[in-house]
Structure 1
Amino acid sequence: NLRMSWDFLVPVCVGDLVKTGGINQYVVQDVVPPKHLPSYLSKFKAALRSQGSLCILEHFDTGYSVLQHCNSAELAVKEDTLELLVQVVSGLASSLPEKLNAVKMSVYLLCKLTETFEINLDFVSLAQGGKKGKAGGEGLLQWDSEREKVLQALVQLLQLDIRSLWNLSLVEEEFIRYSSDGGVLVNSTVSGLAVLIQLGGVTSHFAVIQLLQHFEQLSSVFAQAVAVWSTEYGVRAIIGEVIREIGQKSSEELAREGSGVKAFASFISELGSLVPELMIPNISVLIAHLEGESNTMRVAVCEVLGEMLVRVLCGDGLDESGKADRDRFFDTLQEHLHDTHSHVRARVLQVYTRIVNSKALPLCRYSEVMELTVGRLMDKSINVVKSAIQLLAAFIAHNPYSCKLSSADLKKPLEKETTKLREMKEKLEENAPGEDELHTLKKIYILFIYFFMLSHILPNDETKANTSSLNESWVLLALTGSDEDTSELSQNLPPTPQKEGEKEGEDGELKKQEMLVQYLRDTETFALQVERAISVINSMLYWKTTSVVQEAVQFCVTVCEFSVANSVSGVRKMLPLVWSTDAAIKDAVVQAYRRLYLNPQGDTIRMKAQTLVDSLSELMVDASLGTIQCLEEIVQEFFGSSSNLQSTVVQVLWERFTGKRETSGLQRRAAVLLLGMAARAEREVVLSNLDTLCSVALGEKVTEDFLLARDAVITISSVVMEDPYWQSFMEQAVRLIYFLAESPDQLCSRLLQRSARLLLDQIAEGGEINKDVGQMQEGSQESNEQGEQVNCVCLAQLLALCGCVAFWQVSHLERSVSAELRRRRGETEEREEKEKGPSSKAKQVANESAMEEELGLIGASAEDTEAELIRKICETELLAEENLLCAFLPLLVRVCSSPGRYSHPQLTTAACLALSQYMMISPSVCEENIRLMFTVLERSAFPVVRANAIIALGDLTVRFPNILEPWTQNLYARLSDEVPSVRQTAVTVLTQLVLKDVLKVKGQVSEVAVLLIDPEPHITSLALNFFNELASKDNAIYNLLPDIISRLSDPERGMTSEDFNTIMKQLFSYITKERQTESLVEKLCQRFRTAKTERQWCDLAMSLSLLSMCERGFKRLQECWECYSDKLTEPGVYQPLLSITAKLRRGAKPQFKAQVDEFEKRLTAVHTRGLENVESPEMDEENQKQGGSTEKTVMQTPQPARGRPRTKRGQNLAMMKRRMKRVSAFT
């Protein structure tokens, strides 16, 4: 009883529990020191075993002490406390009655300690550790599993009806607050949130709104919790209350930033997907937001309407109210297909896509929604267009009409059935009673009414008397319209039931015919809309937006799979996209054709292979050359991938080609062409049966089918043409011609002419290609420039040949022709000497020296003349208009400058290499194309092209250094290329250029220094070798180091401190001379003045610490005190300089050691107290007392030789700073 005489009140902050509280309020009596906590925890544990969970009432102070010393307490202590509290809370779940204080106290401690574990940065790495192990030292806590235990204990407790512990079952708001504080419970368990909402009672919907605004990222969890409470706990009112609260939010409030509109939108959207039937009664409140400014809320409401239409308001069993709601919701969605915001339009289209896929769209709305969707294809927003394409594909996949018939095919049946309906109506009108008969029937009807009223108004006797005399005549009049006897007529009339049956039958037939006509009209309308959509979407196949093209391709596949009329047009139109430079588009087209033609159906592999060959053969039959070339890329993709069908398909193709199975000539030709396509991916497909191919197609029966022979030759040439070793063979063959042939230029000229003629013949034969591709691309948004087309491999080989000829022609002129000119000049001079005859010996001796000098000058002048002659030939004759080499230069420039049009890797590589070889001919050609070559170097999508360009530009730098000198920075830029092979090539080329003194070594060498930390070991070794070789040059690295440091420490580069230190350690290892060290100390100290950021200060200080500091360098460091003294408050500057003193102190002489110690003291003083305090007069007096006169003190700060003494103004500023600092310290 005494124990329960106080009440535990949840404090606002943790420290309040130690203060004196009010009457009967619990106060912590004893905060246990950290070193005594283990023993107190042992007592807590023993009490838990003996007393159970109520022991918390006596040992709360122990848990509070752990919480109070959380930052200093050992990890094992906190772990033990956490385990004890989990056991206490778990135990309380079975003994809750009359234990309110124990509940609040234990839950409070557990939640607060859990919050500390979550927030404290010391436990960020705990999740990465292993299971705690106290025996092996301080282990790491697996917090994820421990958190789960905490949450399980809390949820187990809160799921009980603990509200009865409070007066009037009203739970304290503070208890709810700290139970969910930090969002830990909310973030981890839906049931936990549901329980917290339940604890809140009538204010729970306000709590949901408040939590949504504070935890926007958890809106989905809140929706699940509300759904759980409404379904499992039976409290459905919560949904209406929350929706009304959100619905009452004004449009202006939701438009403000931070209003929680995203959380509200996500909440109602998720709630609509969970319990749409419970939201229908309150949906009218949300529909008001469709007129608001928040597009996010409009999207959410439309999504909720879609969920209701799909899951609740669907089917034929709806009552009148449900049908009205359904129609109203559909009308609302249709209105927002024209919403002002593109995101809303796109989301509404996606909602309709789900409705159509779920078959929840009424048939009467198909035509209207379809028309609106086709209109959205012209939307300005790409996302809306994509969503419209997806919806149209869903319409076609789930349509109730027949898509296989075109609108033209439906016209005749519709006209026929419409005529039949009109005839049936005319026939019924003829059989209908005339006007006189209708008038008589009307009189009879009125008479019967009169008798009926008379029989009820008059007395019975009068009625009988009046009716007895008129019975027969009135009855005749009522039945026949006349009072005469019509017995004969009545005998001839058919029975009444038979007449009614005939009438019902005629009406039924008429209704059936009307339904048939209406169905045909709807089908025709749908077919017209589909045809219009196909036409528009086909034009999108060549849009610049990749995602739209991908959606258009998928739409074409869908309409083709459902055999929609005119669907083949889109499939054929997207064929040229297999040559697209965009990998995503190319992959989409390849996958589309793989899905349509390369996924055969069959029970066995053999049947699947035959089906595949049949479908491909059908495409090949009567196909133009353009179509065949496009299909070739598709077939190559199939045979280039791994498939268990490939070997069987090849076998079936060979069987058809050789005639083992009865096949037509067209199928045999298709088979041999398909074999050629397969051979481009796997050459052995043809080479292994080359003899069979030649004997069947080119044997004795060749005259029977020349087309088969032609296709066989095409197949063989396609295999040989793309041999990967052809390039090296060609280069060595041309080189051999120029070394051995008597007139290599003429021979190579004939070789080029013949190769060009063969290429032109191929263009002439393929004249249909351009026409066919042009038809495919008609109406495209991005039509390619029309021109003759040729095989890219053939063109690449021709360009490679002309480039190789140009290169060896120049080499031939500069070596062989130049040597021949020198030889001929020597023979001429020798012949002239003989013709002059012998001269007097004395005269010869007297003029010997003069003659030698004269002969030397004559020889030099002659060599210059020969070199000028060769240069003139290269400049004017090699690329003259009449020379064959000149004809290829414009083509090379065009291919290199149009990477989008000429995107074939082999063609681009050959053209780039050939252009660089042309640029070797003369300076004028080099200057004209140097910008284009560097553009290729920077922007080419192929790494091999960039690598070749680097090598070529390196050769051009050696040949024309003055032209390449302004472009040096662009060469260094490739050192940071994303592809390792390009970086490796760049560093190799630059190493040769720098070490051979072709390029001047400048600050760009910092890019090579970055490669010292490259992830590729081979590149790192190349960079290391570069600096090793560069270090052999006098003062090379010494001169570059300051610039390298500045560039690498630039904040825009973003290099980490670890990488910077790694690079600097390597570079400073090359500085071994004392004079270099002394000079570098001064240069680096001076750079402190221009450094702007703390990171740059730290990098400079680190660089100073890496120098092998000597006594002269230390003296220079003292002299430059003014440069860095104001930065010493930064630890990154202070620590490296302090390490310098530690190095200098080792093995130093006593006198020098004393200077180092004094310098270290001053460093420490400035670091701890600031520069102003160290240089104050009080400090100067103290220095005088300790070290004598300041004039003789070694540690007096000297002025730099080229520095300026501090002016009076500067002294005043320093004094003002010190005064301000003292005032701030006083205040």
Structure 2
Amino acid sequence: MACEFVIPGERSELLRSGRVRQYVVQEVLPVRQLAEHIQAFKLAFRSTGPLALLDHFDTPYSVLSQFRAVEPSLQEQTLDLLVKAVSQHSSDLPAVLDDTTLKPSARLDHLNALKMSCYLLTQLIEAFDNQNYKEELANVGPVGKARKLKSKSGAFDWELARAHALQVLNQLLQLEIRRLWPMGQVEEEFSRLITSCCCHILECPSIGQVKNKATREAVAHLLGVMIKRYNHMLGATLNVIQLLQHFEHLPPVLAQSVTTWATEYGLKSIVGEIMREIGAGEGGRESTGARCCAVFLTELADRIPEIMAPNISLVLDLLNGEEAVTDAYRRLYLNGESSKPQTLVQNLTALLFDSNVDSIKCLEQLVSEFVQKNEIKPAVIQLLWERLTEKVASTPLERRAAVILLGMAARGEPEIVGSNLETLYTVGLGPRVREQQDYQLARDTCLAIGKLSQGKKKLLGGSAISFRLPSDHQLFSHISDAVTDGFCSPSPHWRPFAEAAVALVYQLSENPDRLCGHLLLCCASLLTNHQEEKADDPPSEQTEETAEVKATEVCPDSPSTLPAHVLGNLIATVGHVALQQMLHLERAVGPEMQRRRLNREQQEVKQKMKGKTTVRERTLTHLPPTPCKPNGLLLLLCSYVTLSVIEI
């Protein structure tokens, strides 16, 4: 055969030539002549093997083109011939590929026969699949279950025949068939031919049934070979995503396929690629595709938790939006080796710093739930405390992770932080942190302690108030020292810490406005002192030019200057105190006044029932509550700071 067989995009393309020396179908045979030509194909195959297709391609092509009009027996004979052709070629090709004396024309013949047989076989598989699916729909039993379909002869079982055909294709693709191509690289059209057939099979709703187990396994192995040997990693990743978005029956099937690729073919990296694509593309959690992706990930977590774990942060937000999510993470982190304290803490630490804000919120919800159900054991909490206090060797990043995870656990059980509060603020806000200017750890410490505010103190009568600490508690001294010690620091992490510190004071202090007023006073004094120190700096070695500049800076007629970050720190702190004061009035003072008023009204009702209410008491009860005035010191401070800024 001197021409080249080009795998078509559309079947009709084989009826016309697109370029010189391209194979073209000479004739689509009439249905009545097919039996005769199939018999001739059989005889040629017996004598010349799979190369018989070079002269008889038009016969199976004609069967394929008129498939619905062809008798079932002829359909089955054609399928059987093509399966045998591919199988025989698989046996012959090793010797052909190793033959160094093989002529280019003979190599081209084998390449053409290979492409022809694979094209016809995959197309026939799809044709049988389509026909079988339509017959299943037309033969649904009285309880909604399809009857098993056989040909008129009763000997043909499509499920078994399909699995066998896929296994034969897999056997062929295990060979180094790329050496048949001139450049040693399998053409993209050939790879797409195989993978498209696999995807078509997976689209069938019955693929998940027990009877199709052999087919599912064959498809998984066929795609595994394509990924490993034919550079189909990206294509397979996109195929998985697309199938999940359109077919609700596929999550368990695809989860098993991906498991096969990762475990039997060593393709662990594709798990991360698929998770990355899902995390990047599934923003809408209400879509069917997003739900299918979540089910798929949960199924995958059940099978290969250790492979999923390093990439779980990529899809954490999606899983939180769907289920079986708690179970998935339970399998990932709380079963087997993963549940050991050292391993669990290490995994959660890695997950924590590889997540975005939404994913961290989801992780906090999961950790708190596990703590509430006692699934995170005390040994894990103990290890976190030991990391924070450096009783075990830990890096600064691991210390931060420890305090963040302790805060997450405290959401489920506030006593985790409450029982070790002194340890937490001594370590997280102590002299060493201030000396190292580790304001990220200080901020995370404040956020963890803030979980205590979720606790409620029960009062007589069934009402409850938020947990509060007295204003002279040592926690607030550590907060004040940490904020003021770093006030002049240029660290970009100081302001987030100061915001968290101010918020914590308003969360836990009985008199937050007074404490924060004092804090602002200290910061304003530091600002003034810093300005005076700059003016009184002793002269140092300097050139003539710098001396002139220095003289200008200290000239009485010139305005005072300060580093921008110091002034910015003060303004940011004042602004956050003002915000927290407003929220404090709305959330704490207002509800407390309402609670007291309700208590007075309840007492009045009780006294009325006893007939002891006086006119004066009734009058006082109905007087409007005295409006809460902001702390005088705080107002004075804000005015002072404003004037100081204007002067500067």
**TM-score category, normalised to shorter length:** 0.3 to 0.5
Bigger helix share:
1
Structure showing greater relative contact order (alpha-carbon pairs closer than 8 Å, 6 or more residues apart):
2
Name the TM-score, length of structure 2 as normaliser: 0.46
Name the TM-score, length of structure 1 as normaliser: 0.25
